[in-house]
Structure 1
């Protein structure tokens, strides 16, 4: 299923959608839903609109440094075995759906931003709001300031429909199984450590035990460590907007963010797949099969919620 964004003009804006002639994202559904799982790859998009490229001061490789390149392909097996995959085609440098909808940097826009916008978050300060100001290594993206109509086009026309599609998939799982598990799929730069402790290959984020049943996180960690990968939890990535927003174990919806070190499967400079790609894809397929075959209802039903989560 392809998801075509509404144009901003249809929502009252004056800028035509950059994806008026192609899908901004895609929901790949299984023939039959076999488990209450939803896989989400929001940062692996690599379709760069010509208008956006004309607005940036970066070359075609530099602008891609924010991508979770190829992550959608690492999890591509999911729809074939019974779970949907939602994946972005728009790039993260263009729009980040793992942020609040109006988390914007006022220095990026011609017009002043009112109090309705979140302009003071740590992510905005770092240049990584809903519309990013910079890519990796703090390289500025744009030649000139943007208009708010451009932001509305992206947020009202693509961001909101993307989250509506994600919510719809989780609701469908809930309606069938009474429980749902969101696997939010990401990649991370290789972590360097100055001490003797080895850097992790995988970081699992459950917002410090508040967005996912502990047994599920334990199972996922066991699968990765069984494949010889080093796993950390919540540091340095505890889970972003999607994990925090949708992970409500007390209401039956669990969310777990998975960060995969890019050096395992690709060249971090050229973004080309390396010799490890097939092996890492095989590990992710083992994870998918394990979760598909899990009696998720029994597992999460028998686990008490962490006090912090239960109090929310």
Structure 2
């Protein structure tokens, strides 16, 4: 398995969770290349599948239902990134437990026993939809919790996991920017093969999200799109996923900081009912390695139009 390649330096993140979060320690990890030769950083924030016992006990849903929000196996699909000189950061905690692709305090006050901090964002569209930093639902409007959560429990998750995760991610991006003069964050996700809305029933193989041009130079997204299409993938931009908090927060093209979200159709590599890989997994993994290699080794600092397009 590529993550165990002896040429890679692997280090667990220095996260010290409180006693009720011990099941998640370490909550995430960074797989470093032997030599960092790329300005790219690959991030898989939603592929975690380690469910704390206390969380399962507090949920009204069984583990299979909770897993519907996972970007299952995405970290494995992009596990090749360190062999091309780019670090891979991946979560161990599940998205249903904590979503780092949200603002730190996007919280629904109806979910909690006690008063939220006054600076909490309680009115965002994501909170209204049940998908805040601490999600209320998974799947098709299935409520996760049977009772309200103590506010302190939510704040513990943010302090012990969310903030260390983003500190580590910022360090990776900042280090790339200092070393290469440009940084590219590839935020790796997967999506259900079928949407719920009438206009979103059948989805493409790949959706690339750059916040409609706000988070990434056109030169970079053009490159990535060309690579996917050359391998036969049906690829679209920004619909239905333009990028979440991570893409928005880390992308500043005018400062040579670029962030691009990649959504992979789950039907390409797994059975969405059983949550098991199918025969297409290995073929997809090999094709994604071609894309990852091209992106990680591209001369981003000299790629035409980066700063000009951003300005």
TM-score by length of 2: 0.92
User: Counterparts of 1:143 and 1:300 in 2: how far apart (Å)?
Assistant: 54
Identify the residue that residue 12 of structure 1 maps to in structure 2.
Answer: none
Aligned residue number for residue 209 of structure 1: 213
Whether 2:151 is the aligned partner of 1:131: answer no
Taking the aligned partners of 2:263 and 2:164, their CA distance within structure 1 comes to 24
After TM superposition, the structure 1 = structure 2 runs for residues 284-295 of structure 1, keeping only pairs within 5 Å, are 284-295=288-299
Is the partner of 2:270 in helix, strand or coil? coil
Q: Structure 1 residues 159 and 21, CA, compared in 2 at 3 Å: closer, same or farther?
A: closer
Distance in 2, Cα, partners of 1:114 & 1:255: 30
- CA distance in 2 between counterparts of 1:164 and 1:256 reads 19
Does 242-251 or 186-195 show the bigger shift? 186-195
CA contact (8 A) 1:191 1:200 kept: no
Matched, 1:231 2:235: yes
Instruction: Spell out the pairing of 1:256-267 with structure 2 (5 A cutoff).
Output: 256-267=260-271
- 1:115 deviates by 3.0
Distance 1:273 1:113, change over 3 A: same
Compared with structure 1, are the counterparts of its residues 247 and 17 closer, same or farther at alpha carbon in structure 2 (3 Å cutoff)? farther
Q: Deviations over 1:196-238 (max 9, x none)?
A: 9973111000000111111110111111111111111011100
The 1:17–1:301 alpha-carbon spacing in structure 2 relative to 1, beyond 3 Å, is farther
- Please give the alpha-carbon distance, in whole angstroms, between the structure 1 residues aligned to 2:26 and 2:59: 22
In structure 1, the gaps of 5 or more residues are 9-15
* Correspondence for 1:151: 154
Aligned to 1:272: 276
Counterpart position of 1:33: 36
Distance 1:140-1:198 versus aligned 2 partners, 3 A rule: closer
Matched ranges for 1:171-182 at <5 A:
171-182=174-185
Per the alignment, in what secondary structure is the counterpart of residue 183 of structure 1? strand
Query: Structure 2 matches for 1:37-48, cutoff 5 A?
Result: 37-48=40-51
RMSD: 1.9
**Kept after mapping to 2: 8 A contact 1:224/1:231:** yes
Match of 2:302 in 1: 298
Q: 1:31 to 1:225 in 2, by over 3 A?
A: same
Q: Measure the CA separation in 2 of the matches of 1:48 and 1:20.
A: 8
Superposed displacement of residue 287, structure 1: 0.8
Q: Please, which of 15, 22, 26 is the counterpart of residue 5 of structure 1?
A: 15
> Could you say if the C-alpha distance between residues 302 and 147 of structure 1 is closer, same or farther in structure 2, counting changes exceeding 3 Å?
closer
Counterpart CA distance in 1 for 2:307 and 2:152 is: 47
In the TM superposition, what is the alpha-carbon distance from 1:303 to its structure 2 partner? 4.9
Instruction: Provide the residue aligned with 2:115 in structure 1.
Output: 112
Matched, 1:58 2:68: no
Q: Distance in 2 between matches of 1:231 and 1:176?
A: 32
Q: Give the structure-1-normalised TM-score.
A: 0.92
